[in-house]
Every structure is written in structure tokens, then in C-alpha cells.
A and B are shown apart, each in its own frame.
Chain A
């Protein structure tokens, strides 16, 4: 199976698996539509050996900032001429993390699996709960849903977290300073 095709089938098979591949984070998902039996799961193993599991039916899942994710996804029935995408929600905006298709899926592939190492940049990501949404649509139907990816770390344990806290205090102090009346000009 070609890698590109495998990726697309996996993504089409499970929004959760697609989110995992695109964002390199494990994911659980809530399906808002699912007419082609999308399913998927992922298990991440952190460097200290702790495992984090996510299934396509989960609402949210905790994830580490480092590790290797083993993912799998499937669809039933198989879709053809399919396409889809995965987006990260930032406020009311959507930032596209990945897309696939259109693909004929001439090989009638219905499932796939693989492993993915979490990118280094995840070590600097702010802790918090990230909402990732996605959809897969083919001739036979499709599925869509969202996942909540919770980065498992204390806000005080990362440079970005500490930086955000420090700048909050500094900018707040400056704003208060702006409210102090200037000396009157006599």
C-alpha cells in the first residue's frame, strides 16, 4: 500500500486518527455525523513509559508533549472519491492542520495503521485543551466530528507558560500605569 493512500484511508477511516496524523497528537473524537462507520484509536507512549490512550468515541484525552503514537483507523463501508480535512479551532477561526483527497481509492482500502513521533515543537506548545475538528466525505457517505486534545503539563513547567504569565503581569501593570494622570502643565 502506498504511503499517501494509506494516510488518506486512515484519515477517512477515523477523524481521530486523522487528527493524530495531522497534529501529531493523540485524540478522542465526538462524531457529529458518521454514515460510513468511521472508527479509530491511538496509543501514545511517553519517554518515561507512561501510555496515553484515545479512542474515536472519547470526548477528550490527556496527552504528553513527547512520545510515539501508534494509531489505527478504519471505515465500513469503503468510500471512494473521498476527501476531507482536519482543523484546529482558535477562537471562531479554523486553522487547517491537514487535508487529503480527492482520491479515487481504487484499491478499496478500508483501514490502516502506523506510528508517528510527536514533533519537537509540541514541547513548546502552551498547555491547555485544543479542539480539533475534521471531516471525511466520499461517494458512499462520510463522517465529521471533533476532538479535544488536552496537553498534559503544568503551566509553570514550560518557558512559554511562564512567559505568558510574566507578560500578563507586566502588561497589566503598564495598563494601570497608563491610567495615572500626567503632571499638569503649569
Chain B
């Protein structure tokens, strides 16, 4: 069965992660306000979040999996 995560959640959280990561890096003066990084990071976050949600490379914890298998019987 094909695994699937949460692409919508990934898109939204990725967008905000990129935005706030950009602001954090700006605050630590890693670049100045005219840097395109401020706009690029939210876009990268959006794409990365969607990709993570579709690919779902992380597995659920073993306790949860066991519970689900037991419940299914």
C-alpha cells in the first residue's frame, strides 16, 4: 500500500517555516533586507513541505503500529 503523509499540512507549515526561518536568519544578520533569500525560503519551504507530505518518509512509532494492527483484528 502506498504511504502518504499530510501534503496540505506540509504546504502550510513549510511556507511558514521558510518565512520564519528567513526572519530568524535576518535577525542574526546572516544577510541584509535586500537579499532574495527572504522570498526564496518560503517558496522552498512550501515545496519541501508538499514533498514531505506526499513522500511521507517518516514512519509512525512502533507502539502506534502495534495498536493499529491489534485493533484491526
Contact = CB atoms under 8 A, between A and B. Distances in A.
Query: Are A and B bound to each other?
Result: yes
Interface of A: 88-92, 126-131, 148, 150, 155, 161, 164-165, 167-168, 171-172, 174-184, 186
Given A89-B34, A126-B26, A179-B53, 15 more contacts: A90-B38, A92-B39, A148-B32, A155-B27, A164-B20, A164-B23, A164-B24, A168-B21, A175-B17, A175-B52, A177-B9, A178-B52, A179-B10, A179-B56, A179-B58
Contacts of B16: 167, 171
- Chain B: interface size category: 35 or more
Nearest to A153: B27
Given A175-B48, A178-B49, A180-B58, A126 B34 contact: no
Contacts, number: 122
A178 B4 contact: no
Dominant SS at the A interface?
mixed
A92 B31 CA distance: 13
Contacts of A186: 72
A183 B20 contact: no
A182 to B, nearest CB: 6
A181 B38 contact: no
Contacts of A179: 5, 10, 52-53, 55-58
A127 B23 CA distance: 10
B59 A129 contact: no
